[in-house]
């Protein structure tokens, strides 16, 4: 979603009579409902989101309390160029401050307390690892550069391990990459290429997690809850799948 695309869309003919049934109440389903209303001009009451679980939010879940403890399957690393995400949350009102959006509060929180990890890698029973360089060999760098310019059609069925030399898997970059993005050596090289191209601009500062954004609370409380509250005023959210789709 580039600035060039942030237009006031025209109302499509017949949209008032159309209905949308969205399967899944993860961020994708909820975003689809929001964009259908805002950009597609579909009346919100014509939209139904079906969720098979008792909770909405899909992978962006979190639950618990101070007494029993909290569970969150993962924390998703966010960054400033997730254009569609920030376009969406630039519309969603903050739950805490009237007149402000989730984007406003997220940006402010990151301005006040930017991420700057002081210790990224530990080894030998808790010793700080030397992270003064990415610890790549010349060959590793060449392999990385070659990966980024090789068309996907030429690396189908190639794993990360088949492409890189063993030295790459001892580099600091591999430890950063594999711990942040959950890569395994046997994963697809195409996936690795896509992530590398997409997040290349974070290589400068990866040793301190520079540029990675956080939300004020966990992502369920900071993003999913305000989004549901905003949508629920009008959109129906049903906690079951339609029988014909099970």
Task: Determine if 205 is a binding residue for ligand FAD (CB under 6 A).
Answer: no
Q: Which of residues 28-57 bind ligand FAD (CB under 6 A)?
A: 28-29, 50-53
Q: For residue 12, which of 47, 45, 43, 41 has the smallest C-alpha distance?
A: 41
Question: Is 87 designated active site?
Answer: no
Q: Are 195 and 148 in contact (CB under 8 A)?
A: no
Question: What CA–CA distance (Å, rounded) separates 54 from 134?
Answer: 44
Which of 38, 44, 76, 120 is close enough to bind ligand FAD by CB under 6 A?
76
Q: Which of residues 4-23 bind ligand FAD (CB under 6 A)?
A: 23
Count of chain residues binding ligand FAD (CB under 6 A): 20
Minimum gap (Å) between residue 97 Cβ and ligand FAD: 25
Vertex 114: Cα angle to 113 and 118 (nearest 5): 105
Q: Are 5 and 203 in contact (CB under 8 A)?
A: no
Task: Determine if 211 is a binding residue for ligand FAD (CB under 6 A).
Answer: no
Q: For residue 37, which of 239, 240, 243, 227 has the smallest C-alpha distance?
A: 227
Which of 58, 102, 144, 192 is close enough to bind ligand FAD by CB under 6 A?
58
Residue 178: how many CB atoms within 10 A of its CB? 16
CB-nearer residue toward ligand FAD: 135 or 175? 175
Phi and psi torsions of 122, nearest 5°: -115, 150
Q: Are 91 and 6 in contact (CB under 8 A)?
A: no
Task: Determine if 161 is a binding residue for ligand FAD (CB under 6 A).
Answer: no
Which of 11, 21, 45, 59 is close enough to bind ligand FAD by CB under 6 A?
59
Task: End-to-end CA distance of the chain: give it in Å, rounded.
Answer: 33
Which of 1, 44, 141, 241 is close enough to bind ligand FAD by CB under 6 A?
241
Minimum gap (Å) between residue 181 Cβ and ligand FAD: 7
Among 38, 77, 79, 161, which one carries the catalytic annotation?
A: 77
> What are the residues binding ligand FAD (CB under 6 A)?
23-29, 50-53, 58-60, 73-74, 76-77, 241, 245
Active site residues per annotation: 77, 195
């Amino acid at each position: 979603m580039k600035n060039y695309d942030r237009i006031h869309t025209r109302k499509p003919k017949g949209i008032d009579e159309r209905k949308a049934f969205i399967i899944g109440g993860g961020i994708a389903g909820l975003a689809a409902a929001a964009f259908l209303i805002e950009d597609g001009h579909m009346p919100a009451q014509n939209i139904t989101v079906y969720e098979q679980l008792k909770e909405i939010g899909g992978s962006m879940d979190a639950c618990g309390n101070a007494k029993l403890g909290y569970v969150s399957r993962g924390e998703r690393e966010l960054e400033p160029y997730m254009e569609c995400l920030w376009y969406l949350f630039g519309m969603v009102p903050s739950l805490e401050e009237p007149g402000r959006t989730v984007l406003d509060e997220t940006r402010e929180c990151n301005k006040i307390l930017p991420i700057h990890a002081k210790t990224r890698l530990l080894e030998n029973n808790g010793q700080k690892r030397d992270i003064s360089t990415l610890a790549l060999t010349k060959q590793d760098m060449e392999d990385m550069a070659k990966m980024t310019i090789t068309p996907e059609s030429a690396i189908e069925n190639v794993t990360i391990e088949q492409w890189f030399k063993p030295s790459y898997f001892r580099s600091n970059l591999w430890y950063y990459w594999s711990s942040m993005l959950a890569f395994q050596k046997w994963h697809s090289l195409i996936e690795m290429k896509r992530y590398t191209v997409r997040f290349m601009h974070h290589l400068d500062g990866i040793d301190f997690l520079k540029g990675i954004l956080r939300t004020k609370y966990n992502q369920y409380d900071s993003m999913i809850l305000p989004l549901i509250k905003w949508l629920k005023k009008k959109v129906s959210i049903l906690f079951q799948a339609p029988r014909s789709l099970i």
